[in-house]
Amino acid sequence: MILGIDLGTTNSLASTLVDGKVEFIDFDGAVLLPSVVSFPDGEELIIGQKAKNRYFLDPENSVKSIKRLMGSHTKTRLRGVDYLPEEISALILRYIKETAEKQFNKKFKDVVITVPAYFSDDQRKATTTAGKIAGFNVKRIINEPTAASLSYNFNNESEISAVVYDLGGGTFDVSVVNISKGIVEVLASHGNNNLGGDDFDSKLAELIIDKIEKTYEQPLKGHKRVQQQMQVIAEKCKIALSDNPFETVIENIVYDKEKPPLSIEMEISRSEFEDLIRADIDETMNLVHAALSDARLQAADINQILLVGGSSKIPMIADEFESIFDIAPSGSIDPDQSVCIGATVQGGIIEDESINSILVDVTPYTFGTRTAVRDQLGFILDDDQFVPLIKRNSPLPVSKSKAFYKAHPQQKIIEVTVYQGDSSVASDNKLIGLFKIEDLSQKEDSEEIILAMNLDLNGILTVIATEKRTDKQKRITIENSFDHEDISDSVSKLSDLLSGDADEWQNDVAAEDVPQKQESEDGGPREDHKIYIARTMIEKAESKMEKSSPEDAAEMTKIIAQLKTEMGDTNLVAVDRLTEELTDILFYID
């Protein structure tokens, strides 16, 4: 059994397939687990709803919305100890693991975890590392809007073109997808990793503070304790305003431990709240149009709107879609649960459950390298040009290569830079990797260097530089900063905090779950999920046959037949080669 986990900014969910049906993990009688961790002085660590309640009283020893820091080196200091975002997330994941094992009376090792589609490579790596610290074998990282599409397709056979609008607590994503004959194909994705319900809460909290200062003549701005209390109050108010045009806020505000709480009562209208967030909602709709443009579609081509994430329940969002697309968003999936269901369905696909679904996802980012442009005399015209290899919205998995040349025959070392972004100026993009290939040959006919970039189903990037003449090769997988010792240290630091068996936690973190070193000399391809990748591309190719030219259809039919034979013989080298050939054909068809 594989767990599917929606590791959310505000709430997390987990489920698994039992006899072909999705069953959710129960967290003290609820499906939603607040993504909050609290370290009360002299008390046991608490996670979930109790921690959320504690956050209101003890914000200094509690942490929420840690997902927004994933991929960074920002540390959270609690009870005198510094914790990385991966470690806080690992505590939440470990709690989910232990709760699931108690509920089903069995061990859970494998997991599929969802992330925002616009998560960077660093953020995806951080999420994977959190899973490994928690004792999981992370089988897949899957994009949240894509997972939501899978959950829709789980009970739907008709062909649709849909916009998946995913507005969570900390992030926003939009994907344009086509669902046909069990194939969920992502056509384009856009997003903003720093826009979500938490921002709406902050704006509403400021409004409430302004009203308190005006009505009760009590200065509260800049007061950290009050600000954190207001975030909790604002969240409750926001949720209530999704169902009601007005909400009365009645609370006791603790602003000074030496003084009695300030009792407040005020009314907030839905229209006031909508005025606060209108610019943010407009930004999300602009990203919707950008995704449509990338998919080469117009609003009239869309026949389904899928809303995902708790903040998508805000009524003005549905109103915006109805006014622009003339379509009411679908109510057939639960915005809170759809992502988790999709992760579980993906887990079932990996385990070869009888599910009539297959996923074809895309990368939301462009990856490339930096190069210099020279004139005919060899003088450098531009030493900061970005050369893209894998372009944004390329279907996954994808592998692309390009030939580059040494600056001069005697050059012994080449520095390879890896950038993420869309600017033609390399330095304007994000540098995500750097390595050197050394001891190159020094002959006139050996200047050609082949640079290959491979992006797997998890969106994990591997870069290989090869000197063509000698086959001398250097490879880098873009990993985060954790190595074996770091994970071991994290497990040792965290394992005593939860009520479970610390020794059992440490035993769960097997050697094969530790990330590999960043660089290696062997340029061999990754062998994880090769059969699954091949099956994915076969399904996609078969769905494209009718729209392909006779020549392309014949070539794909031939490769598919060879691929199925090699898959049956588990010849992974041949499977990898044939899958790449099929992927190349599909790239040009798309």
Task: Return the higher-pLDDT residue of 416 and 488.
Answer: 416
Residue 297 counted as domain residue: no
Contact 33, 13 (CB under 8 A): yes
Instruction: Say if residue 209 is in the same domain as residue 116.
Output: no
Say which CATH number the domain at 231 has.
Answer: 3.90.640.10
Instruction: Say if residue 22 is in the same domain as residue 125.
Output: yes
pTM of the complete model beyond 0.85:
no
Residue 253 counted as domain residue: yes
pLDDT value, residue 511: 42
pLDDT value, residue 515: 40
Instruction: Say if residue 454 is in the same domain as residue 543.
Output: no
Of 160-174, 216-230, 423-437, which range is least confident? 216-230
Q: Residue 251, Cα to own-chain centre: how many angstroms?
A: 36
pLDDT band at 573 (very low <50, low <70, confident <90, very high): confident
Instruction: Say if residue 418 is in the same domain as residue 502.
Output: no
Residue 514 counted as domain residue: no
Residue 162 buriedness (CB in 10 A; 0-12 / 13-18 / 19+): buried
**Most confidently predicted of 58-67, 178-187, 481-490:** 58-67
Which of 50, 46, 96 is closest to 497 using CA atoms?
46
Amino acid symbol at 68: R
pLDDT value, residue 482: 45
Instruction: Say if residue 473 is in the same domain as residue 579.
Output: no
Instruction: Say if residue 127 is in the same domain as residue 19.
Output: yes
Task: Return the higher-pLDDT residue of 76 and 413.
Answer: 76
**Most confidently predicted of 85-99, 216-230, 425-439, 532-546:** 85-99
Residue 338 counted as domain residue: no
Instruction: Say if residue 227 is in the same domain as residue 133.
Output: no
Instruction: Say if residue 492 is in the same domain as residue 534.
Output: no
Q: Is residue 510 over pLDDT 60?
A: no
Q: In terms of residue numbers, what domain contains 502?
A: 1-142+483-507
CA angle, corner 51, sides to 104 and 227, nearest 5? Answer: 150
Mean pLDDT of the 174-187 span? 82
Instruction: Say if residue 466 is in the same domain as residue 489.
Output: no
pLDDT value, residue 359: 62
Of 145-154, 275-284, 504-513, which range is least confident? 504-513
Which residue has 């290899």 as its token pair? 389
Residue 495 counted as domain residue: yes
Contact 187, 146 (CB under 8 A): no
Q: Is residue 31 over pLDDT 70?
A: yes
Beta strands 76-78 and 62-64, pairing class: unpaired
- Average pLDDT value over all residues in the chain: 82
